[in-house]
Structure 1
Amino acid sequence: MSAPHLPKVAGIDPEVPVSTQTAAPLREIPAAPGAFIQDRLAGWVSDLTTLHELTERLAATATLDAALNELLHAGAALVGARRGLLVLERAGSTTPSTTLGLGLGPADLGHLETVERSATALGRILDGPPEAADARDGIATPDLLGNQDLDPRHREVATRLGYAASYALPLASEAAGRLGGAVWLYDEPGEPSEKQRHLVGLYARYATEHLARLTELERARADIATVAEELLPSRLPRIPGVRLAARHRTGPQGGGDWYDALPLPDHALGLAVGSVGGSGPSAMAAMGRLRASLRAYAVMEGEDPVAVLSDLELLLRLTEPARTATALFAYCEPAARKVVLAGAGHTPPLVLGDRRCEYVETTLSAPLGMLACWEAPSVEFSPAPGETVLLYTDGLLRRTGDAMDRAFARLHSAAASVPKADRHDPAAVTDHVLRAMLPDGLDRSDSTEDVVVLAAHFD
């Protein structure tokens, strides 16, 4: 007859015999078996948090220069270095390389450039095949000065700059390829740990993708700016009695703001500014067509600005009925100090001199393409000797971020504050107005607005 089975209790198996021997008393309490795992998990969480914060900071950069600086600083923090050097140089590209230093001045970078590239770890990464193992995993040189095979010039430069070890890493990924490389310099012999190498490698691969996107974006912006500049006057004409200056900035997507200055018969001068609705290549192409048409009409009947804009409106309505535009055309006789102008939905010019700073009173009119037949009376005024007529597009006002009435008041204040010593120089006048209106600079990359300012100073 078999022995009865004991009932099962949670955590106890009745089938396992119980030892009859008494265990020896514990002299030390052993560490919990999960403490080691908990420490490892805490370390991983800390590393991932650090990596997440660094990649978020990198993703927030909107320009290539800002991203390169952030990459150098973050990489130095990850590998425990104080200084570094980054070279952006896509393999097989004709684009000039970009070099950036962390904790290295221009003279230090110059010394580093005197070392033959093949003698440095960064040079081997940049010039070697992308599939090489050291190009993927980085190259650590824990004791530069202790290396008997070190290039003499490299030893001299390392001694001069005071670094004793380096760690070089490629900026490469499967999608973007190899964009360049970075090297971080240590003041004392040493090298990053395996964990540090792993983290900086993950960060570098993410940074490479971000740099590739920014590189393509900046190349597209540069192409747009080049096309926009080619659509505008390559130089301003020289007309006796008047001096000209212009400033123009195209938005990152390409816009339709434009200006023109062309000599007309009988020593006259035609000045024009305008804006085509929309942005991108389509708006830029329409701007080019509109400017070319206005030049033709101005040569034929420039002394009548109303006729010029009426012809332009008719052409726009017939050829591009879905598009609108604003324009202002001024017919100037510098010898007689006479200006006749007409505007179609455009901002009024500003006259600046020693005795006045005021907007020209123009009649209110609709933009081109808004009405079945456009016509508005012209306005005639006489600038005094030494006065400057300032023409501009509304992008200058919108770039300030203020309401339009406050932006107009701000422009008036900026023009009135031009120092008297600069009021006879149209270039100085435009630069002062732009600095006062846009303290962050004309080339701020986060603004989508075009800006045009055209100044005519009458002697």
Structure 2
Amino acid sequence: MNAPHPPKVAGIDSTVPAPAHTVAPVSAAPGTSPVDPPHSADPPHSPYAAGAMIQDRLAGWVSDLTTLHELTERLARTDGLDAALKELLRAGAALVGARRGLAVLEPDDGLGPATTIGLGLARADLGHMETVPRSAMPYGALLDTAAGLPGGAGEVVHSDLFTEDGLHPRHREVAARLGYAASYALPLSTESAGRLGAAVWLYDEPAAPTDRRRHLAGLYVRYATEHLARLLDVERTRACMATIAEGLLPSRLPRVPGVQLAARHRSGPRGGGDWYDALPLPDAAVGLAVGSVTGSGPCAVAAMGRLRASLRAYAVMEGEDPVAVLSDLELLLRLTEPARCATALFAYCEPVLRRVTLAGAGHSPPLLVGERRTEFVETSVSAPLGMLSCWEAPSVEFQAEAGETVLLYTDGLLHRTGDSVDRAFARLHAAAASVPRTLRRDPGAVADHVLRTVLPDGLDATNGAEDVALVAARFD
């Protein structure tokens, strides 16, 4: 088979490196495709030569379809915008024969998110490119004009940045500094998705992709744009759910003499019902609460907001009796949302006396962290709210020493470890016991140390499906 095929890179055939530039197409006889030269050993008009040409052409089509299939399969396995943009750049570089590139995500509707991802370009390189007037860059020509819209010109080709007329001098200067001599840009736009951004590939030497490479790259980029549009919708939904969940939680913690407060919270990718609260109460007391509503998504977030608002009302009226607060909350949940369960822990703190009275409903026990002890507070076993026909459990009272910190947390902290319950509790205890002495005066630093130690990937790990809420109260 004599037809030249694009190099199979980006996971198709890792042994063949992507070339730095594209070789000019082989000249073809009249009536033949430039990528399908006739069989040199036979007369150009013989039946055998025609059959060989057809075979070569079919083989080329099969190779192209196989290449596109494997590349689109790799792209479909990405589940985040950054990962998808990186895969788009890698695959596109293999298709057009380039080595470096950048993708600019800038949805036309202005709702974001906006980002720039580079392939073979450091952050400083991208910064140098930003010094070029936007209109002089290939992505600017696609994003700011009708050329990048569906049905527009569709591509920007600079085959030689140092000899072409009309290019901005700063563009040539940056190209020389970064070591690229040509570029090929395509819009990330389709009729259904609209214009999402642009992708630019950079050549080390003057070059331009052949018609065949342009065709393959165009097909791939159209599919990639549809995939990016789906991921964009998911990302926006997650961001919206996280914003709503954060808006339902306290925007600031109260300042009460005798106690310092800190809180940390992250929602899972689907949005969940974990929450926390801290509110000042009469007689210089403070109420602390954490809880979790079953389920995920908008319904769970809305139920969390209703439950937290109700608990605040009950805490103001009878906060000195945590059992009464949770009993009222359980009755409300059973009457208004009988199909839903929730766990909750409410603590009535008297900072002057350093005394804490708490009650829990199916919730993990608090952790007391101090210079001389790190231990879980012994609480009675109780069922979650809404699980039984009538919830009831005794309260627990304990005394904190000066300088000790009480940690209240939701079960998501334990679940994110991926360990069994016993191992997760042991991991949490070890993390609290290892807090450096220099950090123990700051409850926020204590909370951050515990989270970093228990969750090495941090709260922002993309695979963290569980919500996490943590409240730290340090007594003076």
Q: What TM-score comes out, normalization by structure 2 length?
A: 0.86
- The one-letter amino acid of 2:336's match is T
Say if 2:429 is the partner of 1:405: no
Equivalent-residue separation in structure 2 for 1:112 and 1:89 (angstroms): 16
The answer to whether the 8 Å contact 2:141/2:148 transfers is no
The answer to whether the 8 Å contact 1:342/1:377 transfers is yes
What does the per-residue CA deviation read over 1:222-267, in whole Å, with 9 as the maximum and x for residues that have no partner?
A: 1100100111000111112211111111112221111001111111
Number of the residue aligned with 2:168: 151
Q: 1:130: Cα distance to partner? A: 5.0
What does the per-residue CA deviation read over 1:123-157, in whole Å, with 9 as the maximum and x for residues that have no partner?
A: 22212215879945422221121113322222222
Relative to structure 1, the CA distance from residue 133 to residue 251 in structure 2 (aligned partners, 3 Å threshold; closer, same or farther) is closer
Return the match for 2:352 from 323, 335, 342.
335
- Mark the runs of 5 or more structure 1 residues left unpaired by the alignment: 1-27
Number of the residue aligned with 1:188: 205
Number of the residue aligned with 2:460: 443
Say if 2:375 is the partner of 1:358: yes
Equivalent-residue separation in structure 1 for 2:301 and 2:426 (angstroms): 30
What does the per-residue CA deviation read over 1:187-220, in whole Å, with 9 as the maximum and x for residues that have no partner?
A: 1111111221111111101110011111111111
Identity %: 72
Q: 1:35: Cα distance to partner? A: 4.4
Q: Secondary structure at the match of 2:334?
A: helix
Equivalent-residue separation in structure 2 for 1:430 and 1:134 (angstroms): 54
Q: Secondary structure at the match of 2:233?
A: helix
Equivalent-residue separation in structure 1 for 2:150 and 2:373 (angstroms): 72
Equivalent-residue separation in structure 1 for 2:191 and 2:367 (angstroms): 56
Equivalent-residue separation in structure 2 for 1:115 and 1:146 (angstroms): 18
Number of the residue aligned with 1:374: 391
Return the match for 1:114 from 126, 131, 155.
131
Number of the residue aligned with 1:272: 289
Number of the residue aligned with 1:259: 276
Number of the residue aligned with 2:227: 210
Q: Which moved more, 1:257-266 or 1:153-162?
A: 153-162
Equivalent-residue separation in structure 2 for 1:313 and 1:133 (angstroms): 55
Q: 1:48: Cα distance to partner? A: 2.6
Number of the residue aligned with 2:66: 49
Equivalent-residue separation in structure 2 for 1:306 and 1:132 (angstroms): 62
Say if 2:303 is the partner of 1:303: no
Say if 2:178 is the partner of 1:161: yes
Equivalent-residue separation in structure 1 for 2:356 and 2:346 (angstroms): 10
The answer to whether the 8 Å contact 1:135/1:170 transfers is no
The answer to whether the 8 Å contact 1:135/1:169 transfers is no
Relative to structure 1, the CA distance from residue 338 to residue 429 in structure 2 (aligned partners, 3 Å threshold; closer, same or farther) is same
- The one-letter amino acid of 1:177's match is G
Number of the residue aligned with 1:95: 112
Equivalent-residue separation in structure 2 for 1:384 and 1:81 (angstroms): 66
Q: Which moved more, 1:396-405 or 1:109-118?
A: 109-118
Say if 2:123 is the partner of 1:72: no
Relative to structure 1, the CA distance from residue 353 to residue 232 in structure 2 (aligned partners, 3 Å threshold; closer, same or farther) is same
Equivalent-residue separation in structure 2 for 1:184 and 1:102 (angstroms): 9
Q: 1:121: Cα distance to partner? A: 3.0
Aligned pairs (5 A) from 1:307-318: 307-318=324-335
What does the per-residue CA deviation read over 1:172-198, in whole Å, with 9 as the maximum and x for residues that have no partner?
A: 122212211111111111111122111
Q: 1:79: Cα distance to partner? A: 1.2
What does the per-residue CA deviation read over 1:96-133, in whole Å, with 9 as the maximum and x for residues that have no partner?
A: 63222222233332332233333333222212215879
Q: 1:382: Cα distance to partner? A: 0.7
Q: 1:392: Cα distance to partner? A: 0.6
Q: 1:324: Cα distance to partner? A: 1.2
- The one-letter amino acid of 2:309's match is A
The answer to whether the 8 Å contact 2:101/2:201 transfers is yes
The number of aligned residues is 432
| Structural RMSD (CA) | 2.1
- The one-letter amino acid of 2:129's match is L
Relative to structure 1, the CA distance from residue 219 to residue 331 in structure 2 (aligned partners, 3 Å threshold; closer, same or farther) is same
Number of the residue aligned with 1:226: 243
Equivalent-residue separation in structure 2 for 1:290 and 1:94 (angstroms): 31
- The one-letter amino acid of 2:201's match is W
- Mark the runs of 5 or more structure 2 residues left unpaired by the alignment: 1-40
Say if 2:194 is the partner of 1:177: yes
- The one-letter amino acid of 1:443's match is D
Q: What TM-score comes out, normalization by structure 1 length?
A: 0.89
Say if 2:285 is the partner of 1:290: no
- The one-letter amino acid of 2:276's match is Y
Return the match for 2:143 from 110, 114, 126.
126
Relative to structure 1, the CA distance from residue 266 to residue 255 in structure 2 (aligned partners, 3 Å threshold; closer, same or farther) is same
Equivalent-residue separation in structure 2 for 1:291 and 1:182 (angstroms): 46
Give the structure with higher Rg (CA): 1
Q: Secondary structure at the match of 2:371?
A: coil
What does the per-residue CA deviation read over 1:401-449, in whole Å, with 9 as the maximum and x for residues that have no partner?
A: 2222222222112222222222222112211221222222212233321
What does the per-residue CA deviation read over 1:257-316, in whole Å, with 9 as the maximum and x for residues that have no partner?
A: 110011111111110001111111111111111111111111111111111111111121
Number of the residue aligned with 2:265: 248
